[in-house]
Amino acid sequence: MGALAQGAIQLRILIAHNAYQHRGGEDSVAESEIDLLRAHGHVVETYWRRNDEIENIGRARAAMQTLWSTQTTRDIEALIARFKPHVIHVHNTMPLISPSLYWVANRLKIPVVQTLHNFRLLCPQALLLREGKVCEDCVGKLPWRGVVRACYRGSVLQSGVMAMMLSGHRVLGTWQNKVSRYIALNEFARRKYIEGGLPAERISVKPNFVDVPEMPAASRSGFLFVGRLSQEKGVQVLMDAMRRLPAGARLRVVGSGPLEAEVLGVPGVEFVGPLDSESVYREMRRSSALVLPSICYENFPRTIVEAFACGLPVLASDLGPIPGIVEAHRTGVLFEAASAPALASCLQWAMDHPEELADMGRACRAEYQEKLSPQVNHAKLMEIYKEAITVSLSTS
């Protein structure tokens, strides 16, 4: 550890992540960071658990593991003894890994860095969304409202388990004392987490990244939506807006989810379905703008990073962190969240101003190279790791 504190380059990093049943952006981010770290010569070990395990262990036992996982404590103790990591980087612990990981690492004096991909530590549902509207009723408070409203998966019981985990570990000081550094994806999220009780001095800001080479300019036309087809993503608002546009408006929809039926038969809308990353990039390079109509706080959507990398401007809701990510009339256009007329007006403006969109696209690629490239991300990640390790050394 002494040599490391003096600036040694190679680190041993243990990445921990509880993968979702339906693959999402957090899974992709965790995998991309593993590839990035290995490409820079760091030694990476992983601790991966998947929600598919729930079918084998039963829901009652899974609920108990959400609060404290004895399997995690055993596994992490063994991994630390064998691998001897300089730092543990956690992406998601819910539900199977559990916050017990932080306690094991703290006892064995291994610093922990936690990426805050969503608002889980403030809200049982993680989205700060209720009945289609932003809800901050549990921010900085015991989340009992989330239980009585069945915010997590529409279940009072499951919401209760999540609220017990959040409240119990708040009382135990887990969030305040057992995590060396948090990574917020933007300044808005950082402020929200400080409001919710996390120590300000432990929260750094580092956005997501993608590794997308610049490609020759192609002919661009039509709009593009990429994401989960669900209520919080604003799918219904987008379809309503498309119905308000004149003939000739075109939108390609990439993704899947419970609202797939909503996009079928809407004039001008082509449902593509889910695509792999390279195919998504091809769609982005042929489109004139990405549409992001979310009605919830998007933390730092990977689709925005991908769009910027592909030189694609973003038409986005003016909600939460987004105005701090998409600069109005430089890298995109903002519209009133949850308003189909406002979105329709935005789409019409974009159709009428192709030259301005082309200028925005060039600014997007410049923004990506300056702030969202792998090289920039690695440098920031190393800074955060070294801060966490230095704090751990000073308190050991």
Task: Tell me: do 341 and 385 sit in the same domain.
Answer: no
Q: From the CB of residue 306, how many other CB atoms can be counted at a distance below 10 Å?
A: 23
Task: Tell me: do 323 and 336 sit in the same domain.
Answer: yes
Q: Is residue 284 part of a domain?
A: yes
pLDDT in tens, 235-247: 999 999 999 999 9
Q: Is residue 214 part of a domain?
A: no
pLDDT value, residue 394: 63
- Joined together, the tokens standing for residue 357 give 């969109």
Q: Average pLDDT in the 340-365 region?
A: 97
Q: Average pLDDT in the 80-85 region?
A: 98
4: pLDDT strictly greater than 60: no
Task: Tell me: do 368 and 389 sit in the same domain.
Answer: no
- Joined together, the tokens standing for residue 115 give 């990426």
Task: Tell me: do 145 and 252 sit in the same domain.
Answer: no
3-class secondary structure per residue, the chain? CHHHHCCCCCCEEEEEEEECCCCCHHHHHHHHHHHHHHHCCCEEEEEEEEHHHHHHHCHHHHHHHHHCCHHHHHHHHHHHHHHCCCEEEEEECCCCCCCHHHHHHHHCCCCEEEEECCCCCCCCCCCCEECCEECCCCCCCCCHHHHHCCCCCCCHHHHHHHHHHHHHHHHHCHHHHCCCEEEECCHHHHHHHHHCCCCHHHEEECCCCCCCCCCCCCCCCCEEEECCCCHHHCHHHHHHHHHCCCCCCCEEEECCCCCHHHHCCCCCEEECCCCCHHHHHHHHHHCCEEEECCCCCCCCCHHHHHHHHCCCCEEEECCCCHHHCCCECCCEEEECCCCHHHHHHHHHHHHHCHHHHHHHHHHHHHHHHHHHCHHHHHHHHHHHHHHHHHHHHHHC
pLDDT value, residue 3: 38
pLDDT in tens, 368-379: 999 999 999 999
255: pLDDT strictly greater than 80: yes
CATH number (domain holding residue 147): 3.40.50.2000
1: pLDDT strictly greater than 70: no
Q: 18-32, 246-260, 291-305: which has the minimum mean pLDDT?
A: 18-32
pLDDT in tens, 102-156: 999 999 999 999 999 999 999 999 999 999 999 999 999 999 999 999 999 999 9
Task: Tell me: do 239 and 261 sit in the same domain.
Answer: yes
pLDDT in tens, 42-76: 999 999 998 777 766 667 777 788 899 999 999 99
Task: Tell me: do 135 and 235 sit in the same domain.
Answer: no
pLDDT in tens, 187-240: 999 999 999 999 999 999 999 999 999 887 679 999 999 999 999 999 999 999
Q: Is residue 246 part of a domain?
A: yes
Task: Tell me: do 248 and 383 sit in the same domain.
Answer: no
Task: Tell me: do 293 and 204 sit in the same domain.
Answer: no
pLDDT value, residue 291: 98
2: pLDDT strictly greater than 60: no
pLDDT in tens, 295-323: 999 999 999 999 999 999 999 999 999 99
Q: Is residue 288 part of a domain?
A: yes
82: pLDDT strictly greater than 90: yes
Task: Tell me: do 356 and 384 sit in the same domain.
Answer: no
Task: Tell me: do 200 and 245 sit in the same domain.
Answer: no
Q: How many domains is the chain built from?
A: 2
Domain limits for position 10: 2-208+374-395
